[in-house]
Homo-oligomer: A and B are copies of this chain.
Amino acid sequence: MGEFELIRRYFLPLGERQESRSLILGLGDDCAIQRIPAGRDLVFSVDALVEGVHFPRNYRPDYLGWRALAVAASDLAAMGADPECFTLALTLPVVDEQWLKDFSKGLKAASDAFGLELAGGDTTSGPLALSLQVHGSLEQGAGVRRSGARPGDLIAVSGTLGDAGAALGYLTESAPSADMVAVLERYHHPRPRLDLAQSVRQYASAAIDISDGLLADLGHILAASGVGARIDSARLPLSPALMRLKGVDAVNYALRSGDDYELCLCFSPANWERAPESLKSQLTVIGSVEVEPRLYLDGVDCSVEAVPAGFDHFRSES
């Protein structure tokens, strides 16, 4: 089966959403064409995923399809952008029709769930890898950047942290317990917080999605903003399932593992005050932004871990 037949059969159905707001020309030409509504900006991000690095070898293709788009879409949520469409560059060692069928099924489920239509792509032969670029939009000037944190801001995270990290220990478990299944589901089917995007752009001063772990990703905010922070591990939101798992250091996973794709957000006290309960009920405050450019965890300086290259180093970038 050639590249064109392959695209036709498995990927064309992902480019046919009825409710598409902005795609003028989708799959099948030299380029796709997207119309950004007047007064709005295009927001975009690219993520590459390689077998054996970003997902296990022989990973279930339907899970991969979902995960790949979820990982990419999470960056839109962190910017406070509304989802529009995406492109997929897919490199496959062999054309395995069952694999493609399953992969496209998972990708389609995520495409529907996140409101992201397939706009274009490229399929080639080679070691299994994917590169996805997601497109969103938001009102001009409304994008929430990493650099907006100010001393006195509250630091909050969405949902619960650490589940997906703990799940990595159970990927090959033949008879997983209910709690293992619960955390595995967080790994296999992460749900980017696009539901919070509108609130993020209305209230947050800075935002990032937690893909590398809370300490590392908060570190990016602090470095970009030229500030520091104090956070309290006792306040980290942990799922009941994670807390019940035996022999698992839940706090460590919550601090240091990625893959949950929750958001880390900063709010000025005034904005936090006026934010609706419907938002606050999905967030947990874990600390505050400080003037001194260091990150203190339970009073202990862990700046070196959070920002390996150093705060000053990063600040010189901006």
Contacts and interface: CB of A to CB of B under 8 A. Distances in A.
Interface in A275-318: 308-309, 314, 317-318
Interface in A88-145: 88-91, 119-127, 129, 131, 133, 136, 140, 143, 145
A240 interface: no
A301 B281 CA distance: 69
A32 interface: yes
A7 B9 CA distance: 38
A131 B89 contact: yes
For A34, A52, A76, the residue with the greatest tally of chain B CB atoms inside 10 Å of its CB is A34
Interface residues of A, number: 68
A53 B124 contact: yes
A47 B129 contact: no
- How many monomers of this protein are in the complex? 2
A50 B91 contact: yes
10 contacts: A5-B309, A12-B317, A30-B45, A32-B44, A44-B119, A45-B120, A46-B88, A49-B124, A87-B133, A89-B131
A29 interface: yes
Interface string A1-12: 010110010001
Contacts of A314: 4
A224 B32 contact: no
A50 B125 contact: yes
A126 B124 contact: no
Contacts of A76: 31
A33 interface: yes
Interface stretch (A35-43, A150-158, A179-187, A245-253): A35-43
Given A4-B309, A53-B126, A126-B53, A45 B28 contact: no
Interface of A: 2, 4-5, 8, 12, 24-25, 28-36, 38, 41-54, 75-76, 78-79, 81, 87-91, 119-127, 129, 131, 133, 136, 140, 143, 145-147, 207-209, 224, 308-309, 314, 317-318
Given A317-B12, A317-B28, A46 B5 contact: no
B136 A31 contact: yes
A50 B124 contact: yes
Contact of A42 (B8, B33, B133): B33
A142 to B, nearest CB: 10
Contact of A35 (B28, B126, B140): B140
A10 to B, nearest CB: 14
A124 B53 CA distance: 8
Given A89-B89, A127-B129, 8 more contacts: A28-B146, A35-B140, A44-B87, A47-B122, A50-B91, A50-B125, A122-B131, A126-B127
